[in-house]
Amino acid sequence: MILGIISLGFSILICRLFYIRYFPAINVKYLNKRIIGDDKSFIIIDVREYNAPSYRLNHETIHLPLAYVHRHYFEIDSKKEVVLIVSDQITKNMAARLLKNKGFKVKGYIFV
Protein backbone atom coordinates (compact mmCIF):
# COMPACT_ATOMS: atom_id res chain seq x y z
CA MET A 1 0.00 0.00 0.00
CA ILE A 2 2.69 2.49 1.00
CA LEU A 3 4.78 1.52 -2.00
CA GLY A 4 1.79 2.30 -4.25
CA ILE A 5 1.35 5.74 -2.70
CA ILE A 6 5.06 6.50 -3.08
CA SER A 7 5.06 5.40 -6.73
CA LEU A 8 1.95 7.50 -7.41
CA GLY A 9 3.59 10.56 -5.85
CA PHE A 10 6.76 9.94 -7.85
CA SER A 11 4.72 9.60 -11.07
CA ILE A 12 2.94 12.89 -10.39
CA LEU A 13 6.27 14.61 -9.74
CA ILE A 14 7.74 13.30 -13.01
CA CYS A 15 4.65 14.44 -14.95
CA ARG A 16 4.85 17.93 -13.42
CA LEU A 17 8.53 18.29 -14.26
CA PHE A 18 7.86 17.09 -17.81
CA TYR A 19 5.01 19.61 -18.18
CA ILE A 20 7.07 22.56 -16.90
CA ARG A 21 9.99 21.88 -19.23
CA TYR A 22 8.51 20.47 -22.43
CA PHE A 23 4.86 21.50 -22.78
CA PRO A 24 4.66 24.77 -24.78
CA ALA A 25 3.84 27.90 -22.78
CA ILE A 26 0.40 29.24 -23.69
CA ASN A 27 0.00 32.62 -25.47
CA VAL A 28 3.73 33.18 -25.91
CA LYS A 29 4.39 33.73 -29.60
CA TYR A 30 7.48 33.98 -31.74
CA LEU A 31 8.46 37.57 -32.57
CA ASN A 32 10.58 38.66 -35.49
CA LYS A 33 13.64 40.75 -34.59
CA ARG A 34 12.65 43.46 -37.09
CA ILE A 35 9.20 43.90 -35.54
CA ILE A 36 10.70 44.95 -32.20
CA GLY A 37 12.38 48.11 -33.49
CA ASP A 38 12.50 51.01 -31.00
CA ASP A 39 9.22 50.23 -29.28
CA LYS A 40 9.62 51.15 -25.58
CA SER A 41 6.33 49.64 -24.44
CA PHE A 42 7.97 46.38 -23.36
CA ILE A 43 11.09 45.05 -21.65
CA ILE A 44 13.49 42.62 -23.31
CA ILE A 45 14.97 40.00 -20.99
CA ASP A 46 17.83 37.81 -22.21
CA VAL A 47 17.46 34.56 -20.25
CA ARG A 48 20.38 32.78 -21.89
CA GLU A 49 23.46 31.87 -19.86
CA TYR A 50 26.10 34.49 -19.10
CA ASN A 51 28.63 32.83 -21.39
CA ALA A 52 26.27 33.02 -24.40
CA PRO A 53 27.38 35.50 -27.08
CA SER A 54 25.90 38.93 -26.56
CA TYR A 55 23.06 39.97 -28.80
CA ARG A 56 21.87 43.54 -28.61
CA LEU A 57 18.82 45.18 -30.07
CA ASN A 58 18.15 48.92 -30.34
CA HIS A 59 16.46 48.54 -27.00
CA GLU A 60 17.52 48.18 -23.39
CA THR A 61 18.10 44.50 -22.75
CA ILE A 62 18.21 43.01 -19.27
CA HIS A 63 20.57 40.04 -19.18
CA LEU A 64 19.14 37.76 -16.50
CA PRO A 65 19.86 34.03 -16.93
CA LEU A 66 17.03 31.64 -16.19
CA ALA A 67 18.69 30.44 -12.98
CA TYR A 68 18.60 34.00 -11.60
CA VAL A 69 15.08 35.01 -12.69
CA HIS A 70 13.46 33.58 -9.55
CA ARG A 71 15.78 35.59 -7.29
CA HIS A 72 15.74 38.91 -9.19
CA TYR A 73 12.32 39.16 -10.84
CA PHE A 74 11.30 42.01 -8.50
CA GLU A 75 13.88 44.28 -10.21
CA ILE A 76 11.89 44.12 -13.47
CA ASP A 77 9.10 46.64 -14.12
CA SER A 78 5.93 44.54 -13.92
CA LYS A 79 3.79 47.22 -15.59
CA LYS A 80 5.37 46.57 -19.00
CA GLU A 81 5.10 43.52 -21.22
CA VAL A 82 8.10 41.21 -21.43
CA VAL A 83 9.88 39.84 -24.51
CA LEU A 84 12.30 36.96 -23.91
CA ILE A 85 15.53 36.26 -25.76
CA VAL A 86 16.07 32.50 -25.62
CA SER A 87 18.32 29.87 -27.13
CA ASP A 88 15.96 26.88 -27.02
CA GLN A 89 12.36 25.82 -26.42
CA ILE A 90 12.95 24.49 -22.90
CA THR A 91 14.37 27.82 -21.72
CA LYS A 92 11.45 29.64 -23.33
CA ASN A 93 8.85 27.43 -21.64
CA MET A 94 10.43 27.61 -18.19
CA ALA A 95 11.10 31.38 -18.27
CA ALA A 96 7.64 32.22 -19.63
CA ARG A 97 5.89 30.13 -16.99
CA LEU A 98 8.02 31.52 -14.17
CA LEU A 99 7.42 35.14 -15.19
CA LYS A 100 3.69 34.56 -15.73
CA ASN A 101 3.43 33.03 -12.26
CA LYS A 102 5.10 36.15 -10.84
CA GLY A 103 2.50 38.41 -12.52
CA PHE A 104 4.29 39.51 -15.71
CA LYS A 105 2.66 39.57 -19.14
CA VAL A 106 4.98 37.75 -21.54
CA LYS A 107 4.41 39.15 -25.03
CA GLY A 108 6.64 36.73 -26.91
CA TYR A 109 10.13 35.45 -27.52
CA ILE A 110 13.06 35.78 -29.93
CA PHE A 111 15.33 32.85 -30.79
CA VAL A 112 19.02 33.66 -31.04
* Structural domain boundaries in the chain: 2-111
Residues contacting residue 112 through CB under 8 Å, at least 6 positions apart: 48, 52, 55, 85, 86, 87
Q: Give the percent of the chain with pLDDT over 70.
A: 88
What pLDDT was estimated at residue 47? 93
What pLDDT was estimated at residue 59? 64
Beta strands in the chain, from DSSP E residues, in sequence order: 29-30, 42-46, 61-63, 81-86, 106-111
Give the global pTM.
Answer: 0.84
Stretch among 3-7, 41-45, 58-62 having the lowest mean pLDDT = 58-62
CATH 3.40.250.10: does it fit domain 2-111?
yes
